[in-house]
Amino acid sequence: MKFRSLKKWDDPSNNAPLVYFAQLMEELSYDKTPSTYKPSVMHTALLGIELSETIDNVENGIIRAPNIDHVAGEFCSSLSKHPIADKLLNVPSGLLIGSLKNKAGSTGSKQLTVDLVVNQLRSSAYRRACEETVIEQIESAQCSYDILRAATRNYVTTLLSLGYSSKYIHEIVLKNFHYDKNRIGQAKAALKAFFEVFDNQTKKYTLVFKADKIFLTVAEALKELRIEISREPPGDIDLSAHVNFLRTEPTHVYATLRDIPAKEPYAARQNGERIMRVAATFLTLFHHRDRPTWLSDAIVHFGDAAISRLHPRGMNAMHKGADLPPEVAARKMKDFLEKFSLHEEAFHKFMRSAQLHALAAGSSSDENQLLNLWIAIESLIPAETKSSQEATIEHIVNSLLPVLSYDYFERLVNHLVKDLLHWDKPFVLSQFKGIPGKTFTERLLRIMGLPDHATQYDSLISRCRDFALLEKRIDYLKSISASPSALSSLLDGHEERVSWQIRRIYRTRNIIVHSGETPSHTNVLIELAHEYLDNVLNLLTKLASRPSQISTVAEGFTLAQLHYQDYKNSLSQKNFVLSAGTIVPTMFMRKSLRT
């Protein structure tokens, strides 16, 4: 989350909902945003399509029948609390949910019900409904920020599903709301101008890559993939503005791809790279020694009169998560090697998972990344804790949830601390001064959760001024910080969402392996799978480091499950009042294994 100047805004202080929308759009489209604050993988309309495809995959023997119930459950949950879907449906959502949950209903009847919903929630209609809801809320004298946030999140999810890249969305947000010369005045006009950019029109792009010379040997064959290989750049495109691109090593040739369909240049670049990967894959079938590659920069050209643009490769999904600075990583590694103490067999199991993590990080293929991450996760799940009646995916979900939920709230507060320090470090440090706590995260929890620190809290809120997104984030986490029961509800919702995503990763893995297809949302699932694996490896590293609390991987999962249950039980105590001495151990569960 980053505050950007509102100098081009005529009256931002009296247009807080529009400011909030612009800031939320930037956060949702930024590659390095924490997964919690990224757009949903799917909204109701896309879940309907996924359910329909799941039924087809079950009937074709690609995945097992229980998957239908899991996807239907997520779809019904989304449908039951989705006002935009209600606007578009001509049948009450309750009747549709009842039909899908009917145990006596046939698979065919469920398919018909889902198809009915999908037909009424088509992307174009759904996108317009999101836009209308955003405009309604921003123009309303009583804007509901919850409705505005939901509509905005669903709008970004829709754009991504239509083929727009997050990088392009982010670029348009910055240009329209912060950096071009057009003033932001009347809200409705500003929103319409912004929405019109995403016209959903597919264009045809020409792409030029600099590739390894080995592609020249199969130039004739690559014409079947619409790839032209030549020693000279294409003569019909003016590349004079890209002198460095024209400087070619003797080991490089030009690969030109024409008529690549895409909504925008970044998406065209991604589509072109997919074709190049297919070419490289086929080439390695017949030649194993050299690995065919191409350089990061590429020319993206559209239209006879358009100026070519130089586009670097998009961020690898494995690189979008949080990362440590090199010096911190070196210190952590030294500490790990000195203190890590699992038994030999458990150590080999841990290292095998870490190696699969490394393979995923080193690959540019979405399919390889997801498969390696899933194998790395699955290989850590203890077989000895699985009951004979428990399905494999049920066991994986039940084993992972305590690990992935345990410090969820602390991570949210920690993200907020980083946002605050990045926004106004001197002021924030002045507010933290004198507040008890070993870390800034503990201090912020006390400021938000205890009435004794209301002065500091009010100062933070009043200082936000035009940073509407930060203000609403602080206000939301305050409502959780002061209430163990609210935190318990937050964790319940988090567990449900994580459970859905783990199952979706598993289904996608099966679809890739058994059908050869790669679902469009695979890239997002890679980010989630990477985060889940990192959380598990970090926990095992902590538990197995001196003073060691475990000697096997199975003990680590069991200990996490026991402590998480204790954590949830402590949050459910009735009439419990938070105090200066209890707020941190209660809300962050510092008496636990992560201390």
Which residue from 278, 292, 165, 296 is spatially nearest to 226, judged by alpha carbons?
Answer: 278
Strand-pair partners of 298: 209, 311
pLDDT on residue 593 = 46
pLDDT on residue 128 = 93
Tokens representing residue 82 in the block:
């989705």
Backbone angles phi, psi at 371, to 5 degrees: -65, -45
What's the full length of the chain, in residues?
595
Tokens representing residue 297 in the block:
């920069």
Ramachandran category for residue 264: left, alpha or beta (phi over 0 → left; psi -120 to 50 → alpha): beta
What gap in Å lies between CA 91 and CA 375, rounded to an integer?
A: 43
Q: Is residue 411 part of a domain?
A: no
What gap in Å lies between CA 200 and CA 203, rounded to an integer?
A: 10
Same domain, 211 and 185: no
Which residue from 207, 295, 192, 182 is spatially nearest to 249, judged by alpha carbons?
Answer: 295
Which residue, chain included where needed, has tokens 């991570």?
Answer: 411
Q: Is residue 117 part of a domain?
A: yes
pLDDT on residue 248 = 76
Q: Is residue 131 part of a domain?
A: yes
DSSP string, 24-43: HHHHHH-TTS-GGGSPPS--
DSSP 8-state secondary structure symbol assigned to residue 257:
E
Same domain, 193 and 246: no
Give residues with Cβ within 8 angstroms of 458, minimum separation 6: none
Same domain, 215 and 153: no
Q: Is residue 157 part of a domain?
A: yes
Full pLDDT tens readout for the chain, 595 residues? 889 999 999 999 889 999 999 999 999 999 889 989 999 999 888 999 999 988 888 888 888 888 888 888 899 998 888 888 888 888 888 888 888 887 777 888 888 888 888 888 888 889 999 999 999 999 998 999 999 999 999 999 999 999 999 999 999 999 999 998 889 989 999 999 999 999 999 999 999 999 999 999 889 999 999 999 999 999 888 888 888 888 878 889 999 999 999 999 999 999 999 999 889 888 887 766 767 888 888 899 887 655 567 766 666 666 666 655 656 556 655 666 566 667 777 778 888 888 888 888 888 788 899 999 999 999 999 988 888 888 899 999 999 999 999 889 999 999 999 999 999 999 999 999 999 999 999 999 999 999 999 999 999 999 998 999 999 999 999 999 999 999 999 999 999 999 999 999 999 999 998 888 888 889 899 999 999 998 888 888 888 776 778 788 888 899 999 999 999 988 988 878 889 989 999 999 765 444 4
Last residue of a domain, one of 172, 199, 226: 199
Q: Is residue 158 part of a domain?
A: yes
| 221 burial via Cβ count (<10 Å: 0-12, 13-18, 19+) | middle
Same domain, 194 and 73: yes
Q: Is residue 525 part of a domain?
A: no
Same domain, 116 and 24: yes
Tokens representing residue 454 in the block:
């209301």
Number of domains in the chain: 2
Last residue of a domain, one of 145, 173, 199: 199
Q: What angle is formed at CA 291 by the lines to CA 288 and CA 296, rounded to 5 degrees?
A: 165
Last residue of a domain, one of 300, 315, 330: 315
pLDDT on residue 154 = 94
Tokens representing residue 483 in the block:
């209430």
Same domain, 222 and 169: no
What is the C-alpha R_g of the chain?
Answer: 26
What gap in Å lies between CA 580 and CA 582, rounded to an integer?
A: 6
What gap in Å lies between CA 43 and CA 85, rounded to an integer?
A: 10
DSSP string, 453-513: GHHHHHHHHHHHTT-HHHHHHHHHHHHHHT-HHHHHHHHHHHHHHHHHHHHHHHHHHHHHH
Q: Within its chain, how far is the Cα of 380 from the centroid?
A: 23
Q: What angle is formed at CA 466 by the lines to CA 20 and CA 137, rounded to 5 degrees?
A: 30
Range of the domain at 242: 203-315
What gap in Å lies between CA 210 and CA 254, rounded to an integer?
A: 5
Same domain, 228 and 194: no
What gap in Å lies between CA 297 and CA 348, rounded to an integer?
A: 39
Give residues with Cβ within 8 angstroms of 579, minimum separation 6: 450
Q: Is residue 80 part of a domain?
A: yes
Please, are residues 340 and 545 in contact by the beta-carbon 8 Å criterion?
Answer: yes
Same domain, 190 and 213: no
Q: Which sign, positive or negative, has the C-alpha torsion 223, 228, 231, 235?
A: positive
pLDDT on residue 594 = 45
Same domain, 210 and 166: no
Same domain, 83 and 221: no
Same domain, 84 and 180: yes
Strand-pair partners of 383: none
pLDDT on residue 334 = 62
Please, are residues 8 and 183 in contact by the beta-carbon 8 Å criterion?
Answer: yes
Same domain, 72 and 55: yes
| Report field, pTM of the whole predicted structure over 0.75 | yes
Please, are residues 260 and 271 in contact by the beta-carbon 8 Å criterion?
Answer: yes
* CATH number of the domain that residue 248 is part of: 3.30.70
Q: Is residue 586 part of a domain?
A: no
Give residues with Cβ within 8 angstroms of 537, minimum separation 6: 350, 353, 354, 357, 380
Tokens representing residue 398 in the block:
């039940």
